[in-house]
Every structure is written in structure tokens, then in C-alpha cells.
Amino acid sequence: MNKPLMAKATAVWLVDNTTLSFGQIADFCGMHELEVQGIADGDVAAGVKGFDPITNNQLDQAEIDRAQADPAYRMKLKFNAAAVGEEKRRGPRYTPLSKRQDRPAAILWLVKFHPELTDGQIGKLVGTTKPTILAIRERTHWNINNIQPIDPVALGLCRQTELDAAVQAAARKKAGDGAVMTDDERRKLVSTETSLGMGEEARIPASIAGLENFTLSEREESPADYSDAESFFNLPQDDDDEDDEDDNKA
């Protein structure tokens, strides 16, 4: 259930002006019952002026009367058509002032390592605008020479689960469009579970395909093969060493 505006001030007004139980007030204001009891005792919200939910179009008097007559009744916030959808976040993610300077580095990292992500996805992840993303993607940003790519998760601009979800969504879209992914893109886009379920051919990069069955017998052996210990220690001697041995015998 949605909470009323100025929930604590509303609770102060209800404690002072009604005979509602602490549980009813706590349920309506989204607070703990002990906190409401603290308001009644004067230990909590000292100096807070009560906020009348009736005059502010959040609660009907009939609803209060019904709750006062029945301690088990739970009051409902008055429906306000103008407030529908207000809780839904609009626009890009809010980024604290202390982290806004890190957004270009995060954008560059996403553009470099996840080019499959759209500008809209990047904007939602790090809380930026499409013109900024386009400037970094096209390297026309005013500070592009000083920006170093940094993982947005490490910067605290988004969660790893959010990044993984965006990457998986890009993978599904690319698969739906029928585009062919390279080995590098498959490694980035496909999850671990999906990768383990792939066939052997799909997991072997194209650059080394066909080398997995290449044995030593098929290689061209070098003239000196020291694969065993005995041949390794009985190395051929140089001509100078042989001359020295002949001199010693003489």
C-alpha cells in the first residue's frame, strides 16, 4: 500500500486527533507500531507539526470513523488519480554528485567492451543522456583524451545484475535479428550456463579450430629429440670436447 505524504507528520496528527490504535496508525503510515507509541509518549518526532490527511485529500473522515469503531480495520489511502504513476522512475537513473564525474569513464568502458548495448541501455545503466554517449562513442567528447575506461560496477554506478541483464537482453535481440556473433561476442554475451550447454564446436574459437586433435605423432620431429630423460643427459659432444678427451688420453 502507498504511504501518505509526510508520513511521520500524518502519524502525529492521527495520534493527537483520533482514538485509532497504534497498529492502525502504523499500518496506514508505513511505520513500526513502537515508533507510533514513541510519538504518543513524546519520545519520537518531538516538535513535528501534525499534517492533516483529511484537509490534504489523503483520507476521508468516514474512513477514520470506521477504523475507530473497528480496531481490526485497516484504513486505506484515498485514491488520487493525479498521483497514478508518480512512483515510477522517469528519465535516466539519478547519479549522486560525487559520482557524476565518473560517468564518462563508465560510458567509455561500456562502449568499448559491450558495443552491442544501445545508447538507451547505457543511459539507464549509468544515468546519462544520449548526446553524451554519442560524443564518447564518436570520440568527440571535449575530454576524450583524458578518459580511461572503468567498469561501471566498480565505480558503483550500477549493479552487476543490472549489467548482466542488459547484456543478455542485447544478446537476445541480436539472436532475434539473425545476426552472426563472433567468438569474442559470444564469450561476452552468452552466460556460463548457456556456454556449458553448447556443443564442442561452438566453444572452440575459430582461430584454433581443428587443432584440438593434433597429436605429437603428426608433428615434424626435430633432428634432436630429447623427449626422454636418458637421451637428454647423453647430449652429443662438441668437437672441442672430443679433442680435449684425446689429449687427456695421450
- DSSP class of residue 47? T
Exposure string over 83-101, b if 16+ CB within 10 A, otherwise e: eeeeeeeeebeebeeeeee
Q: Are 94 and 127 in contact (CB under 8 A)?
A: yes
Strands (E), 55-164: none
Average pLDDT over residues 147-166: 89
Task: Let me know if residue 231 belongs to a domain.
Answer: no
Residue 138: per-residue pLDDT: 92
If asked whether residues 126 and 190 sit together in one domain, one would say yes
Q: Does 135 score more than 90 pLDDT?
A: yes
Residues 26 and 68 in one domain: yes
Q: Domain of residue 20: give its range.
A: 7-83
Co-location of 25 and 98 in the same domain: no
Question: Is residue 238 in some structural domain?
Answer: no
In this prediction the pTM is: 0.40
Return d(Cα 242, Cα 245) in angstroms, integer: 5
213 belongs to a structural domain: no
pLDDT at site 76: 87
What's the CA gap between 20 and 37, in Å, rounded? 12
Residue 133 lies in a domain: yes
Please indicate, yes or no, whether residues 74 and 99 belong to a single structural domain of this protein. no
